[in-house]
A and B are shown apart, each in its own frame.
Chain A
Amino acid sequence: MPHTSELADSHLLKKDHLKGFLRKLAKEYRLVAPVRNRHSDVLFTVIDDLDAAEIELNEPPQNSLKQFFLPQQERLYTYTTSPEGYDFQPIPTSIPPTVYFGVHPCDLSAVLYMDVVFSRRQRDPFYLRRRQGSVLIGINCNSPAPKCFCNATGSGPFIEMGSDLQLTDLGDRFLVEAGRTSGHGLIERWQGFFAAATDKDRAARYQAFLEARGRFSRQVHVEQAIRRLEADAVPDEVFAELSLRCQDCGGCAYLCPTCTCFTISDQPLDAISGQRLRSWDACTFAGFTAMAGGHNPVQAKTEAIRQRFTHKLRDDVRLTGRPSCVGCGRCVGICFGGTDIVRFVERACQGSL
């Protein structure tokens, strides 16, 4: 129920006080926030100089938080091979505790989803060591961007759970809701920045939510596509047609905040040593499932994109009760083959159930 706030504890932060609060946080944490750079691109960026950074809280950032928890490429181990043996050495790293500030509900939902991926069956040490000691400060979206459809995936434009602190823009001030013990801790620690919120402020938040909900420029029938996939009612031709148009670039998977498939490979450094790498991969790549001798259980031409959409809109719904597309719209902008998830949902719903 996204209309009533379940984040019991609410406070006010004057916009004038935001920089001061962030400055305090930056003393103890690495700070990451959406920053508009000199090319006018908005990107989640590590902020070294708070005064020089233009933090952008309205326009959704082009990248998501995925790269901070699952880097595009990371070294897992170095290895050496010699007559004495073949040995792997862990790579010493220390990941600074980090505050992720200004995270939109879609991207917050995506982090919560990644938490499931990387701890459900096995606890993934490389993901979790980045995730542990991270603080998420979210911002609800008063004005969804034209590409956004989180209302159809149940992951925005306002969110109730998942962040440590959740901000709503009320004009000259933010309503700040503390979702977790760690969030309460932050407010207690720096209580000088905060004032008590009144019922009027909470009513203003609700009003903002209602208005935001009415501002989506597209209707994407995700629920219907989910039903049709579950009923096996999406014709093979839909998958074939979109697969044929997919140009195998992987852009959708790289940009997507919930695409977490990876590959592991060795990179020799010299004859007797090398490093083992983990890198982003994409289920749409023709070689993703290829086995020795060229044998492939997935028909690359006509089935390449089936896994992408059935995983997000059917398998993950079975697993977690909700799709793992969070409606951020990033893949829609990047796909030049016209095989993005919105196109799929439209095609899947034709001849509806």
Chain B
Amino acid sequence: MPQPITDIYLPRQAKVEQIIVENSQISTFVLAFSDHTYNNAFRHQPGQFMMVSMPHCGEAPISISSTPTRPGAIHLSVRRAGKLTAAMHGLRTGDTIGLRGPYGRPFPMEQLQKKDLLFVAGGIGLAPLRGVINGCLDQRDQFGTLTVLYGSRTPSDIAFQSDLGLWKKQGVDCRLTVDAAEPGWDGAVGLVTSLLDDLKPNVNQSTTLVCGPPLMFRAVLGRLASMGFSDHQVLTTMERHMKCGVGICRHCHMDGKMACADGPVFSLAELRQLKIMELDG
């Protein structure tokens, strides 16, 4: 007998409750489903993403940048990249968008317990890691030291400033660098890899979570390898064109894996099994 089938593609209404302007290109949208019961029951895991609908713009995958330890609101940190993301930047508090999810394989949080965690991000790449970091801070005794290395183009491009401030206060070792300095900047200048040079992590005890553009990613991998990190100790999230978000439409194919459903979180060891642009050059 035919069973009722859940309509997995149906977006649900969510209201913009707050907008945090992170820089000229990135804003964090604090959202809640209009259906309160659904909103209260909604749970995700760090590293998962939502499919966002905007009127006449179709859908785009966006990582959930909030932590599951603070349920009730979904944070999406969005960089203006094209049609849909630009439309999001036109949103005002009280507007509604469409959301479905959460999707994808999250960061393996149990495996990270008791580990020293090293977060390496560039630009919008901090978005998927933000939920992990805040989650670790909410369960502080379950994790070792927390270090955040964050690269931006210029000092005025540095996003997530209020988060970085709070993290520092809570004892996270946050180190920033910019590609090009501006007057008044007395921090580091150069690639995020140069920040790695100053670190003396306890490699055996550590796991690295890397997220950023492909060029940065490759440079960081090289540096981590020479520091003694094995491919199993490096985690990342992959970015691909996606339409369905649930492993059917195949737009996000990666040499036999689907970024949306097999990932988006992968260990470097898993990625090494695949022929993908990020590792091939």
Binding site for B on A (CB under 8 A): 76-77, 79, 81, 85-88, 90, 117-118, 120-126, 128-129, 132-133, 260-266, 268, 272, 274, 276, 281, 283, 288-293, 297-299, 307, 310-311, 314-315, 318
Contact = CB atoms under 8 A, between A and B. Distances in A.
B56 A292 contact: no
17 contacts: A86-B13, A86-B53, A88-B10, A121-B246, A121-B248, A124-B5, A124-B248, A133-B2, A261-B249, A261-B250, A262-B244, A263-B243, A289-B240, A291-B239, A292-B85, A297-B276, A307-B253
A298 B255 CA distance: 10
A268 B246 CA distance: 25
Interface string B232-251: 00000001110110111111
B10 A262 contact: no
A79 B241 CA distance: 23
B7 interface: yes
Given A124-B248, A263-B251, A274 B13 contact: no
B249 A264 contact: yes
Contact of B5 (A88, A125, A264, A283): A125
A123 B96 CA distance: 28
Given A260-B248, A261-B250, A289-B253, 9 more contacts: A76-B9, A86-B98, A121-B248, A123-B5, A124-B248, A128-B5, A289-B240, A297-B278, A311-B253
Contacts of A121: 246-248, 261
A291 B277 CA distance: 13
B55 A264 contact: no
Nearest to B84: A292
A132 B2 contact: yes
B56 A274 contact: yes
A274 to B, nearest CB: 6
B94 to A, nearest CB: 9
The dominant DSSP class at the A interface is: mixed
A125 B256 contact: no
Nearest to B10: A88
B241 A288 contact: yes
A86 B97 contact: yes
Contact of A291 (B10, B241, B249): B241
B17 to A, nearest CB: 14
A123 B256 contact: no
Interface string B92-136: 000011100000000000000000000000000000000000000
Contacts of A77: 9-10
Contact of B244 (A264, A276, A292, A293): A264
A273 to B, nearest CB: 9
Interface string B33-56: 010000000000000000001011
Interface in B10-42: 10-11, 13, 34
B81 interface: yes
Contacts of A262: 243-244, 248-249
A136 to B, nearest CB: 16
A293 B124 CA distance: 14
B187 interface: no
A314 B96 contact: no
Contacts of B2: 129, 132-133
A292 B82 contact: yes
B101 to A, nearest CB: 12
A215 to B, nearest CB: 35
Contact of A125 (B8, B85, B249): B8
Contacts of A79: 53, 55, 98
A129 B246 CA distance: 18
B10 A90 contact: yes
B96 A85 contact: yes
A263 B7 contact: no
Contacts of B248: 117-118, 121-122, 124, 260, 262
A268 B59 CA distance: 14
A201 B117 CA distance: 71
Contact of B55 (A81, A122, A310): A81
A261 B247 CA distance: 10
Contacts of A118: 248
